[in-house]
Amino acid sequence: MSTLNWSIRFMFDNSEFFEKAIFLSLGKNIPIQQATLIAAGNINQGVLLETSEGRFFLKTNFETEKDIFDKEAMGLKVLRENTPLEVPLVHGSGRIGEQSFLLMDWIQSGKPNVSYWKELGLGLAQLHMVTQPAFGFHEDNYIASLTQSNNPQTSWADFFVENRLEPMMGKAYYEGLIPLGFYKKFQLIYPLLESIFPNEKPALLHGDLWSGNIIKGKDGNPALIDPAVYYGHREMDLAFSRLFGGFDGEFYEAYNTLFPLEPGFEERESVYNLYPLLVHLLLFGKSYLPGIQKTVQRLLG
């Protein structure tokens, strides 16, 4: 089937859903001129809707967690209010039948400008300067399709264990992804964590900071998408950004000029990344287990 014919079929098969999503978000009927499937991942589908009143980006999925896009919309709103970086404006989210949707402004991706990485580093540092008394958030949310517990804690080490590591390890064991012996071995690192992390105030985090969640926005400036926000240790975002690469060294240099990291971050990096590795273990399988085992072995000596 040609690309043109496939696009026409896609538009025809889903046009009623698209129209309802726009009406529920904007409160009026807007003619859709064209719909183009931009992304079809394991969890979400992304569609560019071109209308008589501009371009919109529509995310959809059939996840059983009916509020998953409501939580993402809230996260995007929090980012827009607390960082100078571009963040898409959300117009609406909800559920139509068995399908969830999130409608936001379309950000036209282009080439990065000459100060792209510097702006991203400075913008993230400014986000991390936003604080509150406790680690956590006022409600739970999601990282990808997994529930993310945000029960407030005054200790980062306690929060990291009780709200990040233990829930994911328990789920991984329950789903047969790790044996009981390794689960018990993993728990031995918990008492060690308090002495590893620098004592810092809670920082507002993007929460899912890998290169795929940074896009080139207007005039080549960096834009943030797909957050999993909470107040955590700011080194979580930076460690996650290094897990799969894709960030230029200028990004880290700019960040450190505004909000310098405590010495020894490179040694702590793999500890923070236990959490995203556990997330990937649950989502994509056992190929992510060796990285977790390596860090645990290093900590236990």
Q: Note the pLDDT tens digit of each residue in 184-239.
A: 999 999 999 999 999 999 999 999 999 999 999 878 999 999 999 999 999 999 99
Res. 42 pLDDT band, cuts 50 70 90: low
Domain with CATH 3.90.1200.10 in the chain: 116-300
- The domain made up of 116-300 is a member of CATH 3.90.1200.10: yes
In the numeric block, the tokens 């799969």 are attached to 244
User: Which residues face 92 on adjacent strands?
Assistant: 103
Residues sharing a CB contact under 8 Å with residue 217, sequence separation 6 or more, in sequence order: 86, 107, 108, 109, 223
- Active site residues per annotation: 208
Task: Give yes or no for residue 6 having a pLDDT over 60.
Answer: no
Domain with CATH 3.30.200.20 in the chain: 3-105
CATH architecture entry for 3-105: 2-Layer Sandwich (3.30)
pLDDT given for residue 41 in this prediction: 67
76 has pLDDT over 90: yes
Mean pLDDT of 154-173: 98
